[in-house]
Amino acid sequence: MKQLPEIQLYTVEEYLALEREAEFKHEYISGEIVAMAGATREHILITGNIAQRLRNQLEGSPCETYSNDMRVRTTPSDYVYPDVVVVCDEPQFEDNEFDTLLNPTVVIEVLSKSTEARDRGEKFSDYRGIASVKDVVFVSQYRMRAEHYVRQANGEWILHEATLPSETITLESIGCTLTLAEIYERITFPPPRQLRSVDKAAQS
């Protein structure tokens, strides 16, 4: 029986040292360094639309908005790169490199075929475990759909869904709103037959 190649594990210190010298981004999952997949045009546009509108609304406030390149420590053994992240308290960082955020307020993930299962599963669980996180938003890049999870005072999470251009995602924790028309500006969606194949790939 053919043996599977052994996965090399790294310490957090080794990962951070390698990542800070790397040409491309990698996430860190319980000792394993995982290369991030390239983004589609739709993914890039949606991420840019969201980040731009949040920055415009937060201009003059103490909040900071990052897209793509701000690493977030979700657990002591997991480091990820959310598509968009906002922090409205004084930013706290892993060390003096100021490139690993510890206290995000809002986390937004644009879902893709290769990342949706993990984004909705392990990463969502880890985001909910960060005490500072008040909102987690999942945005589809294949259809007009946003799922907004809001932390309640008792620690429970409430889901709000939006599927129409005029519907709004209201991020009360940072005082911002996003309509789906704004999020999906310049996006053309694939036909229904192609969407079904995308759904099957995401579920597999």
- At 171, the pLDDT band (50, 70, 90 cuts) reads very high
Question: How big is the CA angle at 136 (ends 63 and 27), to the nearest 5 degrees?
Answer: 90
The predicted model gives 162-182 an average pLDDT of 98
Please give the single-letter amino acid code of residue 160: H
Instruction: Evaluate whether residue 143 is within a structural domain.
Output: yes
Distance (Å, rounded) from C-alpha 50 to C-alpha 137?
11
Distance (Å, rounded) from C-alpha 188 to C-alpha 59?
30
190-195 own/partner pairs: CB under 8 Å, 24+ apart: 190/142, 195/142, 195/143
**Token duo for residue 83:** 């598509």
- At 197, the pLDDT band (50, 70, 90 cuts) reads low
38 DSSP assignment: P
| Alpha-carbon radius of gyration of the chain | 17
- Tell me how far the alpha carbon of residue 19 is from its chain's centroid: 19
Count: domains in the chain = 1
Query: What pLDDT does residue 128 have?
Result: 97
For the chain, give the mean pLDDT.
93
Tens-place pLDDT, residues 7-55: 899 999 999 999 999 999 999 999 999 999 889 999 999 999 999 999 9
Summary count for the chain: helices (H), strands (E): 6, 13
CATH number at residue 124: 3.90.1570.10
In this predicted structure, which of 23-27, 79-83, 177-181, 198-202 has the lowest mean pLDDT? 198-202
Instruction: Evaluate whether residue 202 is within a structural domain.
Output: no
- At 2, the pLDDT band (50, 70, 90 cuts) reads low
Kindly provide the residue ranges of all beta strands, DSSP E only, lying in 23-111, ordered along the sequence.
Answer: 26-29, 32-35, 64-67, 71-75, 78-80, 84-87, 100-101, 106-111
**Token duo for residue 66:** 């990052």
80 pLDDT above the threshold of 90: yes
Tens-place pLDDT, residues 177-189: 999 999 999 999 9
pTM metric for this prediction: 0.90
Cβ proximity of 132 and 89 under 8 Å: yes
Instruction: Evaluate whether residue 8 is within a structural domain.
Output: no
Distance (Å, rounded) from C-alpha 150 to C-alpha 31?
30
* Structural domain that includes position 104: 39-188
Query: What pLDDT does residue 38 have?
Result: 86
Instruction: Evaluate whether residue 7 is within a structural domain.
Output: no
The helix/strand/coil state of 76 is coil
1 pLDDT above the threshold of 60: no
Instruction: Evaluate whether residue 138 is within a structural domain.
Output: yes
200 pLDDT above the threshold of 80: no
- At 114, the pLDDT band (50, 70, 90 cuts) reads confident
195 pLDDT above the threshold of 60: no
Distance (Å, rounded) from C-alpha 72 to C-alpha 80?
5
- Tell me how far the alpha carbon of residue 63 is from its chain's centroid: 17
Q: Which residues does 122 contact at the CB level (< 8 Å), separation at least 6?
A: 29
